Structure 1
Amino acid sequence: MFTEESGFDAYQQVDVEAQAAAASPYQLVLMLIEGFLDTLTRAEGHMESQRLKEKGESIARCLDIIGGLNSALDMDRGGEMAAQMNRLYDFCALRLFEASTSNDIAKLGEVRTVMSNIQEGWKNFGEAHGNN
């Protein structure tokens, strides 16, 4: 059945896909991080409201995004920076799993802090290198 909400979701998905098609690699990373943080906010809301199925779906989506970010790291050319990012992504994935199994919203806050710092660093990198 088509609802107003599913129509909005479909429109939003098409919009995201159009933006991704025109984005640079730098912009794609920012889009993934922004999507991650939005989905993390949903997971927090689901956890607070005891909507366990939706919480699980949101956390699974967060884990998928982290997996995508992690797989994009060039460990050969990225050196120590790529290794550090890999460790941060692993930390976030572990905390997400722990938060999900224990319904510990504070662990989601730890992940938000790390990913927000990564987002800020990525924005600063882009500004320093002329990316928009």
Structure 2
Amino acid sequence: MHHSAYQSYHSDNLAAQTAQASPVQLVLILTDGLIEELFRARAHIEAGRYEQKAHSLDRALGMLNGLASALDLDSGSEVVASLGQLYDYCGQRLYQAGVALDVGLIDEVVGLLNTLRSGWEGMQARHG
């Protein structure tokens, strides 16, 4: 499939998914996109495609910032504060991964995000 046609399909599919999504579903969609982008960044590092690596990590950091900015930090919730700290930590590790070209740091962040994603899936299952 031609790359621009795929991008258009992917964009339309994402728009359809997000149009009817609950807040938890939106977090899951964004987390999935973030993990997918991190796999691309990892592959770029391994293949020596450093310009593409930088682009993928920039996109991933943007998604991470999107997740962090959606938090209601004024709520006083310990869970929200912990999520904010986790997102900050992940951002720092991704920055370090980009500088050091260390796929192990990307793997660490993917592991954290997968654990977090499981929690969000559990919340979605409980609350529909």
Q: What's the TM-score bracket when you normalise by the shorter of the two chains? A: over 0.9
- Tell me the distance in 1 between the aligned counterparts of 2:19 and 2:61: 22
SS in 1 for 2:77: helix
- Displacement of 1:76: 2.1
SS in 2 for 1:73: coil
Aligned to 1:40: 38
- Tell me the distance in 2 between the aligned counterparts of 1:37 and 1:54: 16
The one-character-per-residue Cα deviations of 1:14-71 (angstroms, maximum 9, x if unpaired) are 1111211121111100000000111111111111001011111111111001100000
Q: Percent identity?
A: 37
Is 1:26 matched with 2:24?
yes
- Tell me the distance in 1 between the aligned counterparts of 2:123 and 2:11: 28
- Tell me the distance in 1 between the aligned counterparts of 2:67 and 2:112: 14
Counting only pairs closer than 5 Å after superposition, residues 89-108 of structure 1 correspond to structure 2 as 89-108=87-106
- Displacement of 1:87: 0.5
Give the TM-score taking structure 2 as reference length: 0.96
- Displacement of 1:103: 0.1
SS in 2 for 1:86: helix
Structure 2 spans left out of the alignment, 5+ residues: none
Give the TM-score taking structure 1 as reference length: 0.93
Counting only pairs closer than 5 Å after superposition, residues 9-20 of structure 1 correspond to structure 2 as 9-20=7-18
- Tell me the distance in 1 between the aligned counterparts of 2:120 and 2:54: 28
CA RMSD of aligned residues (A): 1.2
Residue correspondences, number: 128
Q: Which moved more, 1:114-123 or 1:75-84?
A: 75-84
Aligned to 2:109: 111
